[in-house]
Amino acid sequence: MAQALHVAAWRRMHLSVEALLAGGFPVVAKSSRGWTALDEALAAKDRELAHMLQRAAIAQVNAMHGIVRGCSLMGHAAARLVLPALSAV
């Protein structure tokens, strides 16, 4: 299921990624090579797509834990992990 999101991210297909995310595709799912869709966007050096996937990953994790937007400790932790990688793009 998540494979479609990985391919869309790798091919830098922003509208397809948005549609798949809206459909509930899991951002944190890993491909057969162990990559997430965010990893694919970073490898493609697509900063905008990487930010989109980062926001979606934080929202999905928060939703799993019932955390209200704007009050997330996980969001801050994820940002500390992801933003250094985004600065290299």
Contact call for residues 74 and 62 (beta carbons, < 8 A): yes
Pick the CATH number of 3-87 from 1.25.40.20, 1.10.287.610, 2.60.120.620, 2.40.50.90: 1.25.40.20
**Cα angle 59, 65, 67; round to 5:** 65
Question: How far, in Å, are 4, 64, 65, 71 from residue 49 at the CA level?
Answer: 15, 22, 24, 24
Note down pLDDT in tens along the chain; length 89 residues.
458 999 999 999 999 999 999 998 998 889 888 999 999 999 999 999 999 999 999 888 888 776 555 554 444 555 555 545 555 55
What is the spatial distance between Cα 89 and Cα 55, in angstroms, rounded to a whole number? Answer: 17
For the entire predicted model, the pTM comes to 0.72
